[in-house]
Amino acid sequence: MSDPSTQNPVAQQAPTLAPVEGRPSNRIAPADAGSDIFFAAVQTTRMPMVVTDPHRDDNPIIFCNEAFSFMSGYSQDEILGKNCRFLQGPETDRAAVAEVRAAIEKREEVAVELLNYRKNGSTFWNALFVSPVFAENGELRYFFASQLDISRRREAEEALHEAQKMEAVGKLTGGIAHDFNNLLQVIQGYADILDARIDANDRSARRAVDAISTSASRAATLTQQLLAFARKQELRDRLMNLNQLIGDFRAILERSIGTGITLKRDLAANLWNCRVDPVQAEMALLNIVSNARDATGGTGKVTIATRNAVLPEDASVAKLEPGEYVVVSICDDGPGIDLATADKLFEPFFTTKEMGKGAGLGLAMVYGFMRQSGGLATVRNGDNGGAEFSLYFPRASGAVERKPSAPVAPRSGGAERVLMVEDQAEVGELGRTILEDLGYDVVLVNSARGALDTLARDSDFALLFTDILMPGGMNGVTLAQSVRRDYPRTAVLLTTGFADEAIDEGSRSFELIRKPYRRNELNERIRQVLDKPGART
């Protein structure tokens, strides 16, 4: 038998497809001039196609068009005479391969989706349709296979599935965080009240209060991470250059990473600007650097690098829209990560650490923050070993905003009247107690409508202190807007343990303190609102 790679048997036999009753599209008539037209059409079509000969050993390919050669990266000389399995690789689904094999043995049509490999080793998803071709006498002559590269569709489906999964988990975690922050507010608030009232010499009581406060603070950090993952945190972004942020934050990173690890920087000289919440960006860097420290066992090197990127030309990041991005990469020289772990690293509560060493929320927070910022967090094994985390921030135009001058130290609480709005009874009573301890005259109501009714009777309040999420059809932002319009002499301070994009947008023009807040923190924020120039005191 001659080698098919040097002699094309199809050209000698010149088969053609002829309509035959019962099988109008898959019978072959004797050779005639029509075969030249058919194969010329197949050769020039953009859909990859091949013909195999089941009468030869191992059912080899005896014809392929240019589209198939282009898709696979192989030349026709490298394709002809081989079985189609040369496109398979270690991640090809063996069950799908077995389905094709069984259909060929039964001389039946089959359609599957396979992960195939190009000549250069890259993968692509192949929608494969195989059909037997019969002669007029019913004899099997060939198998005809059309293919289609559906990689982009599969990536889109996987991205949609992941987005739906993350959204579902996000709604759950966001709701839990909201309710939990209200509970923590009560725990932390009364711990602060006790701390202010117990005798300084009562060491046992002070240790107990300190333990309560420390545990509540840790719990508050966890809920903040849950809100970040759920993309329900309120972002206060500003135009800035990430090189400056990394430089300013370096001292804190070095202290957290320990003395056994060398922290290096490789910052692009002409880095673009972007809009980002600096506090959340610093927390994201701290979380990733802390993971790098744990991965390296506390010794080694961690490199923070920045660069400009234009997608999709710069890299293949399927979940990002094409455009210009600022990329921050954190690389370590640890053992790296396996593919199965990489797929789960950003999921909440997933951790590779020992029990009690981590809650599995740090990287989930990073992922949520990046998606809420319009960017993406990715992870892969670095070119020189170790893990490489990359944060993609959308480029923003404009000049970098100057840092605000250091605020004047707020004075202690005064005797101003405060209208407090809180629908949770325990949180409301706590807030009133804290404010009255600080010297304020407090009126507490449990709804936005109650607040407006109170103001209609008595508008002599220096401050409206209101929760954002409340029942009754009017939230705290809407209430604040009404008060600003109708009672401009009353200042506004918002609070929430939860947020929403629509609410965030409306709340940006007001001062906000997040739950759970501390006693001194609340007093400082109130004084900042009331003591700023132009405010009524």
Residue 246 predicted with pLDDT over 80: yes
| pLDDT of 316 strictly over 50 | yes
Phi then psi for residue 135, to 5 deg, are -80, 175
The CATH fold assigned to 9-149 is Beta-Lactamase (3.30.450)
Q: Which residue intervals of the chain bear CATH 3.30.565.10? A: 238-404
Each residue's pLDDT tens digit, 339-380: 667 667 777 655 655 444 444 456 777 887 788 788 888 888
- Give the pLDDT confidence score for residue 421 in this predicted structure: 95
Q: What CA–CA distance (Å, rounded) separates 113 from 131?
A: 15
How large is the average pLDDT for residues 137-163? 83
- Residue of higher predicted confidence among 520 and 237: 520
The answer to whether the beta carbons of residues 43 and 20 sit under 8 Å apart is no
- The answer to whether residues 422 and 515 touch, using CB atoms and an 8 Å cutoff, is no
- In which band, very low, low, confident or very high, does the pLDDT at 480 lie, cut at 50, 70 and 90? very high
Q: Give the pLDDT confidence score for residue 43 in this predicted structure.
A: 74
Q: Could you write out the DSSP letters of every residue in 87-132?
A: G--TTS-HHHHHHHHHHHHHT--EEEEEEEE-TTS-EEEEEEEEEE
**249 SS3 class:** helix
Homologous superfamily of the 417-531 domain (CATH): Response regulator (3.40.50.2300)
Mean pLDDT of 428-456: 92
Q: Identity (one letter) of the amino acid at 284?
A: A
Residue ranges of the chain assigned to CATH 3.30.450.20: 9-149
How high is the pLDDT of residue 99? 93
Q: pLDDT band for 184, please (50, 70, 90 cuts).
A: confident
390-439, pLDDT tens digit by residue? 999 999 876 555 544 444 444 555 679 999 999 888 889 988 998 998 89
Q: What whole-number distance in Å separates Cα of residue 467 and Cα of residue 475?
A: 8
pLDDT band at 101 (very low <50, low <70, confident <90, very high): very high
Quote the pLDDT of residue 33. 40
Among 222-226, 381-385, 422-426, top mean pLDDT goes to 422-426
The pLDDT score that the predictor gives to residue 210 is: 85
H/E stretch holding 443 reads strand 441-445
Phi-psi region of 73 (alpha: psi -120 to 50; beta: other; left: phi over 0): left
Average predicted confidence (pLDDT) for the chain: 79
Instruction: Give CATH superfamily name and number for 238-404.
Output: Histidine kinase-like ATPase, C-terminal domain (3.30.565.10)
User: In 14-121, where do the E strands start and end?
Assistant: 16-17, 27-29, 49-52, 61-64, 110-117
In DSSP terms, 431 is beta-bridged to: none
19-23, 54-58, 466-470 — most confident range: 54-58
Q: What is the pLDDT of residue 356?
A: 42
| Band of residue 181 on the pLDDT scale cut at 50, 70, 90 | confident
Instruction: Copy the structure tokens of residue 368.
Output: 């949520």
Average pLDDT score over residue span 174-203: 80
